[in-house]
Amino acid sequence: MKFINYKGVINYSISMIDMEVIHDAVGAGEEECVLFLEHSCLYSVGKSYEVSDFVGNVHYKVYYTTRGGRITVHNIGQCVVYPIINLKQRNLNVHQYVTILEDWMIDAIARVGIVARRSDLGVGVWIDDAKVGFIGIRVTQGIATHGMCINVCNDLSPFDEIVPCGLKGVKVTSVSHALERSVTVQEFVEALQNCCPL
């Protein structure tokens, strides 16, 4: 398993190209990878998106993707994680893989000092009654792409323009806000890498 830590803020379209190149390489038998990065503020829209997922005026670029799920925010201070994993070779189904990703986020959040959990409201990870971790994946030819993101120290106001994950009335939080101290994305990436289950 190779970790790739992108430096600085990465253009979303470029990261999608990188992901597809690595997808094809993993399919050809090369090493699986996990990409760790940040994006400038944008809305990532999944295949289950509905028009009502936008509320009010939209002030940031919208990217329509091929991943599962509905709509979320990416912005600076959020840790975005794209594992490119051969699920077929690992004999994992989508449900099992999503559970692994949720557990990974929960473990990493615990390492920086706070308890997170799953919720009956939907896929992802929560601190108390607010969502902090989001999952949206795509599986083609047995290989998973896209992945998960965790609000670490990002501005949460862009979430006000959407219905996050299609969950009306849902609260969102960040690790830093919940801890009442600053946690950097780099600190959180290290926590993720130190407890990676893949």
SS (H, E, C) the chain: CEEEEEEEECCHHHHHHHHHHHHHHHHCCCCCEEEEEECCCEEEECCCCCHHHECCCCCCEEEECCCCCCEEEECCCEEEEEEEEEHHHHCCCHHHHHHHHHHHHHHHHHHCCCCCEEECCEEEEEECCEEEEEEEEEEECCEEEEEEEEECCCCCHHHHHECHHHCCCCEECCHHHHHCCCCCHHHHHHHHHHCCCC
Q: Which of 41, 79, 165, 196 is catalytic?
A: 165
165 catalytically annotated: yes
Active site positions, annotated? 165
